Every structure is written in C-alpha cells, then in structure tokens.
A and B are shown apart, each in its own frame.
Chain A
Amino acid sequence: MSDQKTNSIAFVADGTIPPSPPPAGETGPVKWLRENLFSNAVNSALTIAALLVIYVILSKTLPWLLNGVWTTNSLAECREVLQGKTGACFSVLTERWNQLLYGFKYPGDQYWRPNLALVLLLVAIAPVLFFDLPRKLLAFTAIYPFLAFWLIWGGTILAPIVALLGFAAGAFVFQTYGKSSFAIGFFGAIVAAFAVWLIGGALIPDGASDNAMLQAVPSRDLGGFMLNLMLGVTCVSLSLPLGIALALGRQSDMPLIKWICVVFIEFVRGVPLITLLFVASVMLAYFFPPESTVDLFLRVVIMITMFSAAYIAEVIRGGLAALPKGQYEAADSLGLDYPQAMRLIILPQALKISIPGIVNVAVGLFKDTTLVSVISMFDLVGMIRGPILASTEWNGVYWELLGFAALLFFVVCYGISQYSQWLERRLATDHR
C-alpha cells in the first residue's frame, strides 16, 4: 500500500483531480426545492395543491385583516368607513379592551392591582418552572397566593394574613410531629390550620374591609381574561398536588384510602365538567353552613380542581406504573422511608414520564375555564357572548371577538407546550 507512489501503476492516478463546482441547480434553494417539494410527481402535485390552499386562505383573510378598522365606536360606523369593502371591525377590541380583559364591573381605577398581581405571578412562578434559579426565591412563591388574593380582592389585609398564619401553623405542626408519625403530623396540621382560621376569622372586626387600603372587590365583579387566568393558575397549581396525592392513594396498601381515591377518581372522571359547574353554582352552597355564603369563585375553583386532579391522578398513575419495581426495592433496601422514597426516587421519575400527559390536562383545564360562562360568570367568552355581543353597538361582530379570544388562549397554551418540551429536554438524563 505505502509504495504506490513510487511504482507508478497504470490504473492508479498520479495526480488529484481539482474539485469542480456542482452543476447549477444542484446547490442552494433550487436543490432544496427539488429535494423537498418536487422530488416526484405525487410530491409535486401535493406541493402545488398546498400552495393553492394557502393562496385561497390568504386571499380571503389578508384583505380582511389589512383593511381592518380600529377606531370607530360601533359596527355601523365600521360599515360606513369600509363602504362595502371587506374588512374587519377591530374597533370592538380597542373600544371594549378593558371589558375583555377585566370584565365589566372591576373598578376602572383599580386595574393596576390585577396587573401587578400578574407581574408578581411571573416572579413567583419562575423558581418553580426553572429550578436552576436560586431556591431562596421560593419564599416569595410561598407568600404569593396571599399577596395576589389581597391585591385582586382587596379589602382588609387581615384576611390573607390569617390564611397565611393558618398554613404556617399547619406546616409547623407537621414539621414537629410528622417525623415520628405521619398521620399525627398530617391530621394535627389540618386541625391547627383550621383552629387558626376559625379563631383568626372571628377576631377580624366586621367592618374591617370598609375603609381598607385597597377597595374591596367582590368575586362577582371579576371577569374577562383575567378571570380565566386566575381560574387556570389557581386550579392547575391546586390540582397537581391533589392529583399526586390521589395517584399515591390509589396505590396505597390501606384499603380505606385506596377505595376513597378510586371512587373519587372514577366518579369525577365519569361526570361532565359542566354538570360539576352547575353543581358549584347552585347546589354546593348546601354543603356549607347556611350563613357562610361561600364565594362562587371558590366553589368553581373546587369543582375544576377536583375534575382536573382526577385526570392528573390517572396520568401520574401511568407514570408510576412505568417505573421498574427495582426502583422501589432499591429505595427500600437503602432504608429510605415511604415519604422519602416517594419524594426523592419515585415521584421525580414518575412525574418526568408524566409531563406530556400533565401538560395535556393543564392546557385542557385552562381552556375549560371558559365553561364558567354558562353559569353566568363573565369570563372572556362570557363577556363576548353577553355584554358585548348583546350591546346595540357591537351586535354581530363575531369573527373579530372570537378570533381575539382564540389568539389569547393560543398564546398561553402554546407557551405552556413550549415550556413542557424544554422541561423534557432539560430532564433527559437517562441516555438509554
């Protein structure tokens, strides 16, 4: 092999042929087009058909979008401006902007409160979503729910403080007694929290909310996309832990716990969400003491949370079942107790497997918050169907309004989906 150069052999070239450029049409975009869009007859036909479809869609929608009118005060004025040409009447969005976002009863000079709550939400949620951030930020996440409650509902600051103290008392009891016996710690924590809430609630004077720093806004005055976001965030963050608890309960060795979880999951999954919401709006009040007018928002949150928790529980159960038995045995054989084994070994892996399913439920839940419009809550869809479309000015502006609603939901849901894909990549440690 090595002495080919010295002995010249007839069939061995003694020089290198200089590289020549590939024939025109074989490089760059032309090559790409040929390989990807026109590689054979069927492919070419499909490409042309697709181009036609795109053309038809754009030729109808683009003029509508580009001719859109943004500044009139009613549909009739839009028609005048357009004079028969196609064009959207986006004025409804600008004119009813605040109603679409906040509902029609939230006091206009207080919009900064939900806005601030939204900004703070991003701060609070960041360390949960991106766990590379410093863990100290979680302290803010822990107080955020109470802060947000106070910002949005206003009224006396004593209410969220009592709520916070109740949780703190529960956590303290659990920390001190949960180590020796989980059950004592758990139920003790619940008792402690309720004790603080009852005593604290009784101590808050009656008129505390009347001259509060932030004007009190009752739940029925909440509305618009803000209501959807509030329901979505609250219910997702509550139903995830509840779903985990249900999934673990369903696997429990204790028959009572197991059957409670099974019955709950099967019942809630077997019922349409809308019936649960009707139950929330008319019937659930019977379960609470008569004089305590439990807030409609709270009742709806309970129902949606139960509903999605049942689904999340089943998703997580799938994740748990996918783990090899050896993981449980290894955790046991190292002497980890049940809560440690679950928290450190089993759940991190099971949840990782369950991410796509959980995100599916979360996205579905968020969109299902629009169902509250049928129990006369004025969320984004409720606002559109009710006050806006029913008004004389905007009667008949369907495409613009519903398109806008779709766009808002799409942005949020697409964001969730992108996050979950990032999370899956970030957590991919098993290079199997």
Chain B
Amino acid sequence: MSELMSDRQIDRSKMQVSDEVAIEINGMNKWYGSFHVLRDINLTVNQGERIVIAGPSGSGKSTLIRCLNALEEHQQGKIVVDGTELSNDLKNIDKIRSEVGMVFQHFNLFPHLTILENCTLAPIWVRKTPKKEAEERAMHFLEKVKIPEQAHKYPGMLSGGQQQRVAIARSLCMMPRIMLFDEPTSALDPEMIKEVLDTMIELAEEGMTMLCVTHEMGFARQVANRVIFMDAGQIVEQNEPEEFFNNPKSDRTKLFLSQILGH
C-alpha cells in the first residue's frame, strides 16, 4: 500500500502549519449508553495541519471525527472548532457544520439530484449564494477533482471513485476551513483509490486543514504532518509520520503497524 503514490512528487510549498488553532478538544468523553467509546481525548489541531487518525476497528476513530461536527454528541469535555464551542445550541452547530466539510466512507451523495445540484445545494440554501455563482464555483471544484463532464449526470451513473471525488467537491463548494475524512477510500476498488487519494493530496498541497481516518499508510507518510494512533477509545500515541512508523513507542502501536503494513 505504501507504494501507491510513490510516483507522485508532493509540493510542500503551501503546506504550512500556522499558529492559529483550528480545533481544540479538551478532556472529551463520550458514551454510547453505558459503553465508554471515547476516553479523555485531548487534541489541538492548528490551521493547515494534516492529521491522519489510525487504529484498529472499533477504536472510536469515526466517533471522534463525527463528534467534531456534532453528528454525534459528546457528554463531557469541551470541543472548540474554529473559535466556536460545540454545545447544544443549534445555531453554533449549524455554523460549525457549514465551516467543516465531511467526506464519508459511502459517499452519501444525494441520488435524486444531479452532480451539479449536489454541489450547489448547500451553498444556495445555507450560504444563500446566488444560483449562478454557486454553479460556477461547483464547476470550478468539479474541474479540480477532474470530472466536470459528469456535472449533469446523476450519482448512480458514476463509478465509486468518481462519486467520492464528487463528494469531496461537494464539501469544498461550502468553502470549508477544515475537512474531515472518514475512511474515504475503504469502499473503493484498488484502481479507484489512487484517484481519490490524488485529489486529497492536491487538497493538502493547497494548505487545507485535514483530519483523515484512513488505513492508507502511504498517504499518511507522504501527506500527514502528524499521525494519531487510537485504541479502545483513547489516543495512545501521536507523532510525526517518520517517527511514528520507524520508532513506534507503545507495544499496541507496534502490533498494529506490523499487522497493517503486513511485513
């Protein structure tokens, strides 16, 4: 898997981490009923960081990033996204959601709308962008993900990789400051994984703040500036990719790496 993108030279000129804090999580805990999914999570993400979250299945990775845009609510602790605290106030939640883009494992495009309509819907209704402007912006992002010619088709007519790129374009049309990815390539065939990862790399090269849950360790090595390892609802270890892969500190991480890298 780590070979997947060896042909790609990454332009790091714009990948700069600023001092500005994008996300701050403080002592966050979450339960599903009596099941303690997330335990005492503390994490600060600066603007421009590219973070990969890894960990075994069921360790709470999805739950963690879904808490960041309130798709799941946390019971304890404090989450501040882009200066706004996530509370029960619906206004705050809607504000954060419009600043934070999310890409799902199963794309979740709207099947009854064309690709273009998928991309313009939220800008028109949430941001009140005029229709024409929204369409121009949508075409711009569809060109960026290299499928402008599909704009008038319906999602059901596209391949998985194309659908996922549309999903990325759809999020970008809201001009988010932060992008969350939950295993964006896990539902794809190997030959489509690359096209989606390339899109994500381009996004990183432009300086987008990104949090990705992914098993693509090649992507982590090349793009991430920090890898977070989770197990049993806790952040076990976090480090720069080089250190993380070459000198894992905890035994749990070593075991996980040996399994996933398949050496």
Contact = CB atoms under 8 A, between A and B. Distances in A.
Contact of A326 (B98, B106, B157, B171): B106
Contacts of A333: 69, 71, 97, 100-102, 171
Interface string B183-223: 00000000000000000000000000000000000000000
Contact of B126 (A335, A345, A348, A352): A335
Nearest to B154: A429
Interface string A304-340: 0000000000000000000010110111111111001
Given A332-B97, A335-B97, A337-B94, A344 B111 contact: no
A335 B99 CA distance: 8
Contact of A327 (B102, B108, B125, B170): B108
A349 B112 contact: yes
A333 B101 CA distance: 7
Nearest to B109: A330
A352 B122 CA distance: 22
A330 B118 CA distance: 11
A385 to B, nearest CB: 46
B169 to A, nearest CB: 12
A344 B118 CA distance: 11
A344 B154 CA distance: 16
B154 A336 contact: no
B104 A329 contact: yes
Contact of A432 (B69, B107, B110, B156): B156
A160 B121 CA distance: 38
Interface of B: 69-71, 90, 94-95, 97-98, 100-102, 104, 106-112, 121-122, 125-126, 154-157, 170-171, 174
A80 interface: no
A332 B111 CA distance: 16
A237 B157 CA distance: 35
A431 B157 contact: yes
Contacts of B98: 334-335
User: Which of A327, A329, A335, A430: most chain B CB closer than 10 A?
Assistant: A335
A432 B154 CA distance: 11
Given A326-B104, A330-B104, A430 B154 contact: yes
B97 A349 contact: no
A324 B112 CA distance: 13
Contacts of B69: 332-333
Contacts of B121: 334, 336, 344-345
B205 to A, nearest CB: 24
A344 B117 CA distance: 11
Contacts of B112: 348-349, 352, 427, 429-430
Contacts of A336: 121-122, 125-126
Given A335-B97, A335-B98, A336-B125, A329 B71 contact: yes
Contacts of B104: 326, 329-330
Contact of B97 (A327, A334, A344, A429): A334
B243 to A, nearest CB: 32
Nearest to B102: A333
Contacts of B107: 326
A313 to B, nearest CB: 21
Nearest to B155: A430
B41 to A, nearest CB: 20
Contacts of B110: 327, 330-331, 345, 349
In the A-B complex, the 6 residue pairs with the smallest Cβ-Cβ separation, listed nearest first, are A335-B98, A330-B108, A326-B108, A334-B122, A333-B102, A335-B97
Contacts of A429: 111-112, 154, 156
Contacts of A331: 110
A270 to B, nearest CB: 33
A318 to B, nearest CB: 17
A331 B109 CA distance: 9
A205 B158 CA distance: 65
Contacts of B174: 334-335
B126 to A, nearest CB: 4
B108 A332 contact: no
B125 A344 contact: yes
Given A326-B108, A330-B109, A334-B174, 17 more contacts: A326-B104, A329-B108, A330-B102, A330-B104, A332-B69, A332-B70, A333-B97, A333-B171, A334-B121, A334-B122, A335-B95, A337-B90, A340-B125, A344-B125, A349-B112, A427-B112, A431-B154
Interface centre among B71, B111, B126 (most CB of A within 10 A): B111
A127 to B, nearest CB: 20
12 contacts: A330-B110, A333-B71, A333-B101, A333-B102, A334-B121, A334-B122, A335-B98, A335-B122, A345-B121, A349-B111, A429-B112, A431-B157
A183 to B, nearest CB: 12
B151 to A, nearest CB: 15
Contacts of A349: 110-112
Nearest to B126: A335
